[in-house]
Amino acid sequence: MPSKLLTDYPWTTGPVIINAPMAGFAGSALAMAVTQAGGIGTIGTADNITALGTDLQAVADFYSSSPSLSPSAFYQNTGLLPIGIGLLLFLTSLDAVLPVLQSHPPAFLWLFAAPTLSDYAPWTTALRTALPQTRIWIQVGSASAAAEVARTAAPDVLVIQGSDAGGHGFARGASVVSLLPETAVRLAANLSVGKTDITLIAAGGIVEGRGAAAAFALGAAGVVMGTRFLAANETVVHPAYRAAMLATSDGALGTARAPIFDELKGPTIWPPLYDGRAIASLSYLDWTQGVDIEVIRQRYAEAAIREDMGFSDRAPVWAGAGVALVNEVQPAGDIVRSVREGTKKALREALEAV
C-alpha cells in the first residue's frame, strides 16, 4: 500500500525523504530544495519568531511566483505552504508563534521537546483550532511515549527517533531498529490509544539508501535525515562545523550522547527528558575524565571566540552515528534523489538475497 504521506503531501515521490527541522541550520532554502526534489522539506526554529516569519514569507513568495511547480499547485489549492515547521515547545511561546503561522500556514507542524509529555495535548488542541488544515507531527523516542502521545494528543504523524540520531532526543532510548516495530506493536495492541491511523516515520542514524531501506522494511512511511543534510549546500552551517563533521571517520567512537554538550555555556536549558549526540570533542573527553565543569566551560569560552568558533575541538558539533558515511557536500535535491534511488536499490537487493 502506498505511503499515506504520498496522498497527504501530493508533490512527494516515494520512498519519502524528509529533512530534519534543525533549528539554526534548516531554513527556507533547504526546505524548498528538499520539497522541490519530491521530498518533504522542513524549517527548524527555536525562539526567533522574526526569522521564522522571514522564512515563511520566502517560501510563500517562491511558490506564488512559480505556478508551474508541483508543490505550487498544493499551495494554490489548499493555502498551505508545501513545507513543515519544527517547533521546540520548551522554548516557544504559543501566543508569539501563532500569528506568524496563521499568516502563512504550513502543511504541518512538527512538535518536539515539550517539558513533559502531557504538554503536547494543549498545544495540539490550540494549533488545530487556529490552523485546522495544518497536520500535526510529534517526535518521540520511546514506545511508551508514543502510546501516551497517541492517546492524549492524537497526532497525524509520530516521528520515531532512535538513539543513533544526532542533535537532541530522549536521553534514554533505543535504536530505531527495535524502537519502530515495538512502537507499531504497542499502538496496535493498545485499545485505549484512540486515534488508530497515525503514520509512523523513522529518524536516527539514517544517512543513505541502505539505512533508509532498513527503516522502510521496519514499517516506516518515510525517513528523516538530519546529519546528511548538514552536508547540503542550502543548509546554514559554519565552515568549521561542517569540516569537523566531514572529518569524523567512525560514528560509534567519533560521536557520543552526553549532557555535557548542553552544559558548556552554563546550566542546560533543556528539560531533563532530553540530551544530545555530537562529535566527541575535547570538551566531552574532559568531562569523561572528571575535569571540573567550570574548567571545561572556561576552555570552551576561550575556543568560542576564535575564528572557527571552537567547532574544530570544543564547541558542540551535533551529528548522528551515521556521520562517517557523509563525506561530501551536495545540493539538497541531489541528496534526496540519491537516497531515494539508493533505497530502492537496497530493497531490491535484499529481496534477491532471500
Q: How many CB atoms lie within 10 A of CB 207?
A: 27
d(CA 85, CA 111): 9
Predicted pLDDT of residue 1: 56
d(CA 314, CA 142): 30
Q: How many CB atoms lie within 10 A of CB 1?
A: 4
Residue 18 forms beta bridges with which residues?
A: 40, 224
User: Are 39 and 334 within 8 A, CB to CB?
Assistant: no
Q: What is the pLDDT tens value at each position of the chain, 354 positions in all?
A: 567 999 999 999 999 999 999 999 999 999 999 999 999 999 999 989 999 999 999 999 999 999 989 999 999 999 999 999 999 999 999 999 999 999 999 999 999 999 999 999 999 999 999 999 999 999 999 999 999 999 999 999 999 999 999 999 999 999 999 999 999 999 988 755 556 689 999 999 999 999 999 999 999 999 999 999 999 999 999 999 999 999 999 999 999 999 999 999 999 999 999 999 999 999 999 999 999 999 999 999 999 999 999 999 999 999 999 999 999 999 999 999 999 999 999 999 999 987
In the chain, alpha helices (H): 4-8, 28-36, 49-64, 70-78, 94-103, 120-130, 143-153, 176-189, 209-217, 239-246, 251-254, 282-288, 293-304, 332-353
CA distances for 48 relative to 45, 51, 162, 239, angstroms:
7, 6, 27, 23
**Global confidence as pTM:** 0.96
Q: Label residue 85 exposed, middle or buried (CB < 10 Å: 0-12, 13-18, 19+).
A: buried
Phi-psi map region of 191: left, alpha, beta (phi>0 left; psi -120 to 50 alpha):
alpha
Q: Please give the domain boundaries of the chain with CATH numbers for all domains.
A: 4-237+325-353 (3.20.20.70), 239-304 (no CATH)
**To 5 degrees, how large is the angle CA 215–CA 252–CA 302?**
120
Tell me which H or E stretch contains 16: strand 16-19
The β-bridge relationship of strands 167-170 and 274-279 is: antiparallel
**151's grid cell:** 492517546
